Structure 1
Amino acid sequence: MDKLLNDLVAIVGPEGMLLGNDVSQRSVDWFTGAPCRAKAIVRPRTTEQLSKVMALCYQADQPVVTHGGMTGVVHGGEASPDELVVSLELMNRIEEIDSVGFTIQVQAGVTLQHVQEAAGEIDMQFPLDLGARGSCTIGGNIATNAGGIRVIRYGMMREQVLGLEAVLSDGTVVSSLNKMLKNNAGYDLKQLFIGSEGTLGIVTRAVLRLQPYMPSEQTALVAVPSFDALTRLLGFVSRELANSLSAFEALWNNHYRLMTTESGKHTPLLADDSPFYAIIETLGLDEERDAEDFSLILEKALEAGLITDAVLASSRAQRQVIWAIREDIEVLVKELKPMFSYDVSLPIPHMQAYAEQLEQNLKAQWPQAAKIVVFGHLGDGNLHIMITVRDESPESRRQVEQLVYHPLKAYGGSISAEHGIGLEKRDYLSITRSSEEIALMKRMKTALDPKGLLNPGKVVALD
């Protein structure tokens, strides 16, 4: 491998190659902090450099794992000592903003927050939003088809991408930086790479859709008396708020209580004895009118018994206080250590039964140790589940995984709503996908990456 590394340095320069401690001091897992074990990290600055890097790796049969912002939680960035990492961190330029066509063209290493800020400078917005906005990158968002808190209004990352450029395992550059909303000329090749987790090609640049800036933002935290009321509340605000509803986040009592009174980290804005809570947010154009309408709708929800209490944010600082209860994952990591994290989706009517049965099963197996926290994007059927059984052994993890994943099949759910498959969920893919679907995935992988060099072992196993 030494000759290959020397050849790669000739392409990316000394600053483009990290070795030794510069590699091991980097983490490949946000929750555990596990170190990177790769032989080296190669950091190209351009698509051309990456193309040459991959051509050499292809000739040498060298496996490659792609790194973005490293905010993933399914072990998609893990690399063994005989693998190389390609990091896109130096490919971080915003190349073009089109305020007429509502597009922005960026390199894959640009952070989501940077794109959001660039859009804001021209009174527009990039609507994808995640708690990890300051660290996650656009390439990673595309590779995992990221979701976040505004899917209910704007859709997932897939809906934000007009065109992209990717480098295949042999160095071939597939560049289709389309800027048009309509382009029905043959296969939509970008869809092959969106959500493929770097197993089919490495995304290097993308053209993204922008949306009009919405200066009016209304946010409320509400207490909800039952799951039935929670689902009826979602239907009510979806109708009453029409196109302005941008987020509807559900917090089970175990989540809200842990984040506030139990941990002491966040002030309980509402009493902690309600079975459910919801964060409701709208985006609009008229602050005064939107505030009046929002307040009136919450009053109607209160009168209808859909909510029992509410607190409305009257400033950006107050909105941040509300959202911090939802987004401060560090509290969960600390309070539930060692924590197992899950990201599933299932039809909304089945969520309560699924969560209750899961908790019962966990406590039956670990009566004293098991603790579960549930929250998520109710409007798009996505639940985040954090579990501790105070034992992080592989056997306990496997047992918890089976309790989480196997019931999803009966509900028509998915083992992954927005985090992807990586290594962590690969063995459970058959719960969500049929044998025919998995066979087709393997055929696609073999066709685009015949030597199996890109993110080997992730998503589907070819062995």
Structure 2
Amino acid sequence: MDEVLKNITAIVGAGNVLTGGDVGARRVDWLTGAPCRAGAIVRPGSTTELATVMCACHAANQPVVTHGGLTGLVHGAEAGPDELVISLERMTAIEAVDPVGGTLTVQAGAPLQRVQETAAEAGMQFALDLGARGSCTIGGNIATNAGGVRVIRHGMMRDQVLGLEAVLADGTVVSAMNCMLKNNAGYDLKQLFIGSEGTLGIITRAVLRLQPQQAATQTAMVSCDDFCALTGLLQHMRHTLGEQLGAFEVMWRNHYALLTEESGRHSPPLPPDAAYYVLIEVLGNHHAETTQRFEAAIETAFDEALLIDAVVASSEHQRRRLWAIREDIEGLLHHLNPRFTFDISLPILDMNHYIQALEQAVTERWPEGRIVVFGHLGDGNLHVTVATGRDEAATRRAVEALVYEPLAALGGSISAEHGIGLEKRDYLYLSRSPAEIAVMRTLKGALDPKALLNRHKVLPDAAP
């Protein structure tokens, strides 16, 4: 490694190769806060520098792990002492904004929030939004195919990317910086890298799709008595609000009560005794029309007994207070410690039975155990936290089995939006067929034959 670091230092400069205590001072993810253990951290300043760095690493058989905003939750950024970290923290430029074409060209290290703000300054919006917006980077969002709270309207990160540029393991630059909605000239190569978690190439730049900015926002929190009413409310809002429905975020009672009444972190806008609490948000162009349409949808939902209570935000301050309950992940994890967190997807109509069965299984095995559930119900995505009072490896494996194994029969997924990383790779077979995994291995072998990029991540080392 000393020799390859000498070569890399000549490429990026001594100040952009961190070693020793400077490496250990970095954290590999937000959830655990574990220190980085890599042999060094390399900070290229351009695609050309990164390509030259990767060429040197390829020649020396030096494995690397890519770092973005380090907000991942599946240990995808972990690196060992024999690995180098490639950090894109210097590659943060917004290169171009085209309001007419509806595109924004950006380097991969730019934070999501900065992209959102730049789009807004141009009278547009970038549709992806998630709680880690201030820290997560566009490259990380693309590499993990991030989801967030606007998927019900705009889709995943995959739907926001028109073109991208990536550096392969041998330093080859694949630049597919398409800026058009329609381009059927051969294979859509960008799709290989979106969601690949840095295992096929290192994303360096992207052309993002922008949407028209919408000035009118209406937000409400409502409560429902049972799951039938909850799914009926979702259908009602879809049909009534149509394309204006921007978010439909659900908190089970256990989540809502924990973050309001039990912990005291938030004042409950609604009594904490309902079965479900829903954040509903609409986005429109005209305030009066959007408000009238939203209020009518809430009123008819009352008439049809789809909800039992509601509070509508009358100011941006009130809106932020409602969203703060949903987005207080730090508070959730603080009050459930030790705990195991999961990001799953499954058919909406199977959710109620699945959660009830999981809760029963957890409490039967660990009488002091509990589960907390919230998520993007309209997208089929739930975030489940299980606390058993114990955190040893054997307990983790037992909890993982309870959470993951029933998903196979339901056609669900062990990862809705967080990715696989190291944490879920041994369970990939529950969500992907042997033929699919074989194709994944073929792609990995073709693009990274030496297995230098984010090795051991996503794909199991051996077939189950």
TM-score using structure 2 length: 0.99
The residue number in structure 1 matching 2:36 is: 36
* 1:129-166: CA deviation from partner (whole Å, max 9, x where unpaired): 00000000000000000000000000000000000000
- In structure 1, list runs of 5 or more residues that go unmatched: none
Distance 1:311 1:90 in 2: 44
Distance in structure 2 (CA, Å) of the matches to 1:434 and 1:296: 46
- Measured in 2, the distance between the counterparts of 1:208 and 1:243 equals 21
Q: Report the counterpart of residue 241 of structure 1 in structure 2.
A: 241
**What residue in structure 2 maps to residue 437 of structure 1?**
436
The equivalences for 1:14-413 within 5 A come to 14-368=14-368, 370-413=369-412
Distance 1:462 1:444 in 2: 15
Amino acid at match of 1:374: V
Read off the aligned partner of 1:371 and give its amino acid letter: R
SS, match of residue 221 in structure 1 = strand
Q: Distance in 1 between matches of 2:391 and 2:10?
A: 43
Question: What is the DSSP-based 3-state SS (H/G/I as helix, E as strand, rest coil) of the residue aligned with 2:186?
Answer: coil
The answer to whether the 8 A contact 1:442-1:462 is kept is no
d(CA) in 2 for partners of 1:328 and 1:93? Answer: 30
Residue 127 of structure 1 deviates from its aligned partner by 0.6
Q: Is the 8 A contact 1:358 1:403 kept in 2?
A: yes
Alpha-carbon distance between aligned partners in 2 of 1:329 and 1:218, rounded to the nearest angstrom: 23
SS in 2 for 1:355: helix
Q: Secondary structure at the match of 2:311?
A: strand
How far apart, in 1, do the equivalents of 2:115 and 2:31 lie?
25
Deviation for aligned residue 1:28: 1.0
Q: How far did residue 235 of structure 1 move?
A: 0.2
Shift of 1:293: 1.6
Supply the distance in 2 between the matched residues of 1:240 and 1:228 (Cα, whole angstroms): 18
Q: Percent identity?
A: 61
Compute the displacement of 1:29 (Å): 2.3
Q: Distance in 1 between matches of 2:184 and 2:282?
A: 33
Deviating runs (4+, > 4 A) in structure 1?
none
Range with bigger deviation, 199-208 or 286-295: 286-295
Contact 1:12/1:43, CA 8 A, preserved across alignment: yes
Instruction: Give secondary structure in 2 for the equivalent of 1:359.
Output: helix
Question: What is the letter of the counterpart of residue 392 of structure 1?
Answer: D
Amino acid at match of 1:225: D
Deviation track 1:158-197 (CA, whole Å, cap 9, x = no partner) reads 0000000000000000001100000000000000000000
DSSP-derived class of the 1:247 partner: strand
Q: Secondary structure at the match of 2:33?
A: coil
Q: Take 1:275 and 1:237, find their aligned partners in 2: how far apart are those partners?
A: 19
CA-atom RMSD in angstroms: 0.7
TM-score of the pair, normalised by structure 1: 0.99
SS of the residue 1:406 aligns to: helix
Q: CA deviation at 1:3?
A: 1.4
CA contact (8 A) 2:428 2:460 kept: no
In the TM superposition, residue 198 of structure 1 has moved relative to its aligned partner by 0.2
CA displacement, residues 62-114 of structure 1 (integer Å, 9 cap, x when unaligned): 00000000000000000011100000011000000011100000000000000
CA distance in 1, matches of 2:391, 2:14: 40
Give the Å deviation of 1:462: 4.5
The aligned residue for residue 445 of structure 2 is: 446
Aligned-partner Cα distance in 2 for 1:176–1:297:
43
- Secondary structure of the residue that 2:457 maps to in structure 1? coil
In the TM superposition, residue 25 of structure 1 has moved relative to its aligned partner by 1.3
How many correspondences in the alignment? Answer: 462
SS state at 2:250 partner: strand
Asked if the contact 2:111–2:137 (Cα under 8 Å) also holds between the matched residues in 1, the reply is yes
> 1: CA distance between counterparts of 2:311 and 2:215?
21
**Which residue of the partner structure matches residue 423 of structure 1?**
422
Instruction: Judge which range, 291-300 or 70-79, deviates more.
Output: 291-300
Contact 1:406–1:431 under 8 Å retained in 2: yes
**Residues in 1 aligned to 2:461 and 2:405: alpha-carbon distance in whole angstroms:** 23
**Mapped partners of 1:412, 1:99: distance in 2:** 40
Helix, strand or coil for the counterpart of 2:402? helix
Q: Deviations over 1:373-419 (max 9, x none)?
A: 00000111000001111211111111110000000011110000000
| 3-state secondary structure, aligned to 2:382 | strand
